[in-house]
Amino acid sequence: MSSQLKKRLKNRITQVLNEKAKVRIGKNGVTPAIITEIDNQLAIHGLIKVRFLNNYVTENLDEDIKSIVKKTISQLVDKRGKVILLYKPMEE
């Protein structure tokens, strides 16, 4: 990977971190509708921010994140508290 490409990716990640979350997960948890919405947003944007709200209750957040990554066939780029960045190459 060229240094210019790495720099562009790093800039894009910073940009997405400063935006509002594309998907917010609340008290209903990770439902099929949430998975579909994450998939749709990944298809449109490629790199998205997902926020778990304070009313989201779980015993194991990391397991829920792994489940989302597996079901959406995406990659976890970053995790900061209850905010994650997911990446999936956009289809052309």
3-state secondary structure of 62: helix
**pLDDT at residue 22, rounded to an integer:** 94
**Could you count the other beta carbons within 10 Å of the beta carbon of residue 59?**
6
Which helix (H) or strand (E) segment holds residue 76: the answer is strand 75-80
Q: What is the CATH number of the domain that holds 38?
A: 3.30.110.60
**pLDDT at residue 52, rounded to an integer:** 95
Q: How many domains in the chain?
A: 1
Q: Per residue, what are the HEC states of 4-47?
A: HHHHHHHHHHHHHHHCCCCEEECCCCCCHHHHHHHHHHHHHHCE
**pLDDT at residue 3, rounded to an integer:** 78
What is the residue-level pLDDT of the chain in tens, covering all 92 positions? 567 767 877 888 888 888 999 999 999 999 999 999 999 999 999 999 999 999 998 888 999 999 999 999 999 999 999 999 999 987 76
Residue 9 structural domain: 3-87
**pLDDT at residue 92, rounded to an integer:** 63
**pLDDT at residue 8, rounded to an integer:** 79
Do the domain assignments include residue 76? Answer: yes
Do the domain assignments include residue 92? Answer: no
Do the domain assignments include residue 17? Answer: yes
Do the domain assignments include residue 54? Answer: yes
**pLDDT at residue 28, rounded to an integer:** 92
Do the domain assignments include residue 37? Answer: yes
